[in-house]
Amino acid sequence: TPELLFQIAGQRRLLLPGLGGRVPVRVEEVSELLKRTPPWQRFDLVNEVIGGSSEVAALVAERFVDFQ
């Protein structure tokens, strides 16, 4: 969800290219960025936020299980 991606990007202080190379400051920015990103590039955006961290992978897995 945009909320989870926003939370993770903020915690990791990720500079997102679609936001001018800065950390998002509002959930709406992440939501809008996802809408603007072509479908075939959304995976790359999500992977940039959640990839490379076992702690983040565990958090995403927990949220997914909670969602079900």
Between the alpha carbon of residue 30 and those of residues 21, 55, 61, the distances in Å are 13, 21, 20
Mean pLDDT over 38-58 rounds to 91
Question: Which H or E run includes 40?
Answer: helix 39-50
Answer yes or no: are the C-beta atoms of 47 and 3 closer than 8 Å: no
- In one-letter notation, the amino acid at residue 47 is N
Global pTM value? 0.85
Q: What's the CA gap between 49 and 46, in Å, rounded?
A: 5
Q: What is the pLDDT of residue 22?
A: 94
User: What is the pLDDT averaged over residues 6-33?
Assistant: 94
> pLDDT of 23-40, one tens digit each?
999 999 999 999 999 999
Please check whether residue 51 is in contact with residue 8, taking contact to mean a CB–CB distance below 8 angstroms: no
